[in-house]
Structure 1
């Protein structure tokens, strides 16, 4: 569950402080996975959401917390690359919904992050 605040967070720590309970736990886990999987990326805020940015300035991926789930957002090409494995998830253009009540699919998320970094570095695929 999100804690309501009228102020926009300026850091990822402030953003995460706006959540409690299982939402806070899952978002902290998601942050850890993102940071460990993309240690060279800059962690910053973009559009009021945590984002991971390549050293050249291109957004690699982002995540956000909602009432019952987190979203992790990649490029549509990354989401499409994993479309078979994502059959059991709600997805959007580049997003994947992660329900708080379910354990995070850590190995799968790490593979998606690795793919996203490689698609940018090897093929120059930018953000949406």
Structure 2
């Protein structure tokens, strides 16, 4: 799969807007993040390690912070969302709260920079 930008270009405009918004928060928090891949998915990468990937699936949008601990750090802010060990799922009409995004990105950064 190609870059995050290539992936976004192929999405439905409504999905693209939601996913771009999430990536915009991550890029604001980690301005030096590069486009790359993680586990074969387009992702933002920090210091050579995958930071986050956001992908449209058939029935949801999935967020993959590449860390169960990062998802757990945000879990208290994600009541009502589908949260599993390393994945957060949501519908475009119910985007993730910015505080939750900041929580899992902060946790993942701490792991990478640790």
The whole-number CA distance in structure 2 between the counterparts of 1:76 and 1:49 is: 17
**Compared with structure 1, are the counterparts of its residues 103 and 62 closer, same or farther at alpha carbon in structure 2 (3 Å cutoff)?**
closer
The whole-number CA distance in structure 2 between the counterparts of 1:103 and 1:93 is: 19
* Alignment check: 8 A CA contact 2:62 2:88 kept: yes
The structure richer in helix per residue is 2
Which runs of 5 or more structure 1 residues have no equivalent in the other structure? Answer: 1-8, 123-128
* Alignment check: 8 A CA contact 1:68 1:100 kept: no
Structure 1 position 39 matched with structure 2 position 31:
yes
Match of residue 2 from structure 2: 10
Cα RMSD (Å): 2.0
The structure richer in strand per residue is 2
Query: TM-score, normalised to structure 2's length?
Result: 0.81
The whole-number CA distance in structure 1 between the counterparts of 2:81 and 2:36 is: 26
The whole-number CA distance in structure 1 between the counterparts of 2:57 and 2:23 is: 15
Which runs of 5 or more structure 2 residues have no equivalent in the other structure? Answer: none
Cα shift readout 1:67-99 (whole Å, capped 9, x = no counterpart):
343211120011122333333210222111121
The whole-number CA distance in structure 2 between the counterparts of 1:58 and 1:21 is: 29
Structure 1 position 98 matched with structure 2 position 102:
no
The whole-number CA distance in structure 2 between the counterparts of 1:80 and 1:47 is: 20
Structure 1 residue 47 displacement after superposition: 4.4
* Alignment check: 8 A CA contact 2:3 2:36 kept: yes
SS at match of 1:30: helix
Which aligned pairs between 1:16-95 and structure 2 lie closer than 5 A? 16-55=8-47, 57-74=48-65, 75-95=67-87
